[in-house]
């Protein structure tokens, strides 16, 4: 009795063997079509994503901006968010520098980004009502952008 497993793997293996024998490339079509972004393109994407997330944040806090109980917190949150953005931009500039910046210059900038994001998290905890959700969504978006930047700019 023939095994289903055997019949499902023989044809692909046979085709790959023939392709190798004929000298054809054997990488997958998806892998061949994948384009790895250059560091400058990645930095531009990060900056654009950060600006777009900030624009969404500013639109989301508009209903809360006129309320005196939220004014001070929103002002402080906005300032800290700007500082985090500046630190992220500084990180991108260091990563794009030629020759590459040494780790002792990059590490303090990454620490500064983390410090600002932690401060934003603590400010979110001070918010009340549905503002907590708005700040949480904004922080989540900015955290994701920052994590992707740190990962993709290695």
Q: Each residue of 67-77: pLDDT tens digit?
A: 999 999 999 99
Burial class (CB in 10 A: 0-12, 13-18, 19+), 151: exposed
Asked if 70 and 131 touch (Cβ cutoff 8 Å), the reply is: yes
pTM higher than 0.85, yes or no? no
Rounded to an integer, what distance in angstroms lies between the CA atom of residue 114 and that of residue 127? 20
The pair of three-digit structure tokens given for residue 61, joined into one six-digit string: 């806090």
Select the CATH number that applies to the domain covering 37-152 from these four: 3.40.1180, 1.10.860, 2.120.10, 1.20.120: 1.20.120
Among 14-18, 75-79, 127-131, the range of highest mean pLDDT: 75-79
Give the pLDDT score at 32.
42
- What is the chain's mean pLDDT, rounded? 83
The pair of three-digit structure tokens given for residue 105, joined into one six-digit string: 């210059």
pLDDT band at 34 (very low <50, low <70, confident <90, very high): very low
> Quick one: average pLDDT of 22-26?
50
Question: By percentage, how much of the chain surpasses pLDDT 70?
Answer: 76
Can you give the residue ranges of every domain in the chain?
Answer: 1-34, 37-152
Q: Each residue of 114-126: pLDDT tens digit?
A: 999 999 999 999 9
Give the pLDDT score at 73.
96
pLDDT band at 36 (very low <50, low <70, confident <90, very high): low
Rounded to an integer, what distance in angstroms lies between the CA atom of residue 113 and that of residue 140? 14
């Amino acid at each position: 009795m023939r095994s289903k497993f055997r019949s499902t793997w023989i044809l692909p293996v046979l085709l790959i063997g023939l392709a190798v024998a004929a000298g054809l490339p054997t990488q997958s079509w998806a892998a061949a079509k994948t384009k790895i972004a250059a560091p400058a393109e990645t930095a531009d994407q990060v900056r654009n994503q950060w600006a777009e997330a900030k624009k969404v944040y500013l639109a989301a806090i508009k209903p809360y901006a006129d309320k005196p109980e939220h004014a001070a917190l929103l002002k402080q949150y906005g300032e800290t968010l700007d500082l985090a953005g500046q630190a992220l931009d500084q990180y991108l500039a260091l990563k794009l520098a030629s020759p590459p910046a040494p780790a002792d210059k990059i590490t303090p900038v990454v620490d500064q980004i983390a410090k600002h994001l932690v401060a934003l998290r603590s400010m979110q905890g001070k918010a009340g009502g549905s503002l907590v959700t708005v700040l949480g969504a904004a922080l989540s978006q900015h955290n994701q952008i920052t994590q992707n930047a740190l990962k993709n700019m290695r």
